């Protein structure tokens, strides 16, 4: 009987209906798995379901029965794809499940920062409004989105979804050409121009060697309009120490991040020291996690497992 092991069940919310494959199987759930538990827990498994637990070459070499890894996410940098390919292990990921939730979360961050909501909420909590001698007061900047420019880095389905919302708000939309790449065509704006002209910059690209720390000190220095910087893509796209320095220097107006380089953040992460600022919002990697999106994601996981078992693998990374 096919043995299926889910290494990190806790990465899927409790509201999701966890349907199971349609063929005879044994299913084993583990809420969390440490890297040093991977081999023990996958020994004898035919299929691994795993979101963020790394499965590297040294583990793969000790798992002769493993035939498939199904990732309930789009990113697959936690897995040794070359080692899987050499072994003939099928790796399938999930795509297109977050087409609403990530753009909506992106704009929740943009609106909260652009309208000063975090600072004003705290003012009311602290009693500042109650002490005011008029019906309102102005302790934080408030700006409209209409007529402003948004620079989108990443032109896939999520970047396109953000663009549609931006257009509904009356924003000018720029899709950034890939950093250091020329000749992508008229639909793209040069990377450097996007840095200079945007009032909001939002990241929706994968983490690869070419995109790691794509926004760092030189890029912040080039941001002439003091934009908001939003990251609902991947940690590692932004140099976080340089981000805090840019906030201190006033090179950007604020930051809204849903992804950090290390998750959960380590105590020395520089962003943790500025969380009390009204122009900084950090959410715990939940942009993808609406109930609707998670259910769509899980339904795709089961579809890919069923397809693999039927000899028709889908959404293959390898």
Reported as a single tens digit per residue, the pLDDT across 59-104 is 999 999 999 999 999 889 899 999 999 999 999 999 999 999 999 9
Q: Predicted confidence band at 187 (pLDDT cuts at 50, 70, 90)? A: confident
315 lies in some domain? no
| Among 26, 61, 263, 292, the one annotated catalytic | 263
- Do 235 and 198 lie in one domain? The reply is yes
Task: Write the CATH number for 158.
Answer: 3.40.50.720
- Do 142 and 228 lie in one domain? The reply is yes
* Average pLDDT across the chain, whole number: 96
- Do 88 and 164 lie in one domain? The reply is no
314 lies in some domain? no
236 lies in some domain? yes
CA distances from 249 to 93, 223, 232, 299 (A): 40, 12, 23, 46
Query: What are 109's strand-pairing partners?
Result: none
224-276 confidence digits (pLDDT tens): 999 999 999 999 999 999 999 999 999 999 999 999 999 999 999 999 999 99
CA atoms within 13 A on the CB side of 275: 12
Element (H, E) at 256: strand 254-257
Amino acid 180: pLDDT: 84
Amino acid 186: pLDDT: 80
| Among 219, 234, 240, 304, the one annotated catalytic | 234
- Do 230 and 83 lie in one domain? The reply is no
Which pTM was predicted? 0.91
- Residues spanned by the domain of 201: 101-282
Q: How many domains does the chain have?
A: 2
Amino acid 253: pLDDT: 98
Q: What is the C-alpha to C-alpha distance for residues 94 and 109, in angstroms, rounded to an integer?
A: 25
Q: What is the C-alpha to C-alpha distance for residues 63 and 249, in angstroms, rounded to an integer?
A: 51
**How confident is the model over 43-69, as a mean pLDDT?**
97
**DSSP per-residue string spanning 207-229:** --TTTTT-BSHHHHHT-TT--EE
82 lies in some domain? yes
Residue 281 main-chain phi, psi, to 5 deg: -130, 130
Is 304 known to be catalytic? no
- Do 76 and 170 lie in one domain? The reply is no
37 lies in some domain? yes
- Do 182 and 105 lie in one domain? The reply is yes
Is 234 known to be catalytic? yes
């Amino acid at each position: 009987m096919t043995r299926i092991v889910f290494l990190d069940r806790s990465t899927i919310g409790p509201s999701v209906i966890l349907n199971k494959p349609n063929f005879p199987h044994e299913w084993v759930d583990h809420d969390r798995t440490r890297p040093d538990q991977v081999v023990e827990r996958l020994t004898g498994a035919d299929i691994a379901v795993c979101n963020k637990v790394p499965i590297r070459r040294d583990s793969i070499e000790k798992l002769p029965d493993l035939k498939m890894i199904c990732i309930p996410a789009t990113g697959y940098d936690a897995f040794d794809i070359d080692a899987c390919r050499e072994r003939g292990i099928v790796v399938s990921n999930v795509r297109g499940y977050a087409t609403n939730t990530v753009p909506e979360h992106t704009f929740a961050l943009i609106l909260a920062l652009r309208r000063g909501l975090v600072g004003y909420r705290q003012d009311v909590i602290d009693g500042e409004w109650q002490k005011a001698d008029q019906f309102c007061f102005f302790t934080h900047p408030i700006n409209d989105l209409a007529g402003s420019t948004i620079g989108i880095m990443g032109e896939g389905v999520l970047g396109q979804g953000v663009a549609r919302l931006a257009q509904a708000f009356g924003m000018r939309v720029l899709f950034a050409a890939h950093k250091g790449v020329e000749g992508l065509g008229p639909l793209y704006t040069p990377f450097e121009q996007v840095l200079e002209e945007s009032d909001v910059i939002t990241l929706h690209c994968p983490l690869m060697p070419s995109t790691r720390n794509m926004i760092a000190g030189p890029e912040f220095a080039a941001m002439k309009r003091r934009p908001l910087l939003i990251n609902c893509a991947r940690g590692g796209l932004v140099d976080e120490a340089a981000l805090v320095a840019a906030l201190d220097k006033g090179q950007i107006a604020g930051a809204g991040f849903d992804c950090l380089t290390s998750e959960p953040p380590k105590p020395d992460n520089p962003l943790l020291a500025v969380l009390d600022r009204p122009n900084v919002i950090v959410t715990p990697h939940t942009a993808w996690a609406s109930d609707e999106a998670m259910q769509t994601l899980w339904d795709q996981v089961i579809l890919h497992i069923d397809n693999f078992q039927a000899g028709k693998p889908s959404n293959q990374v390898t």
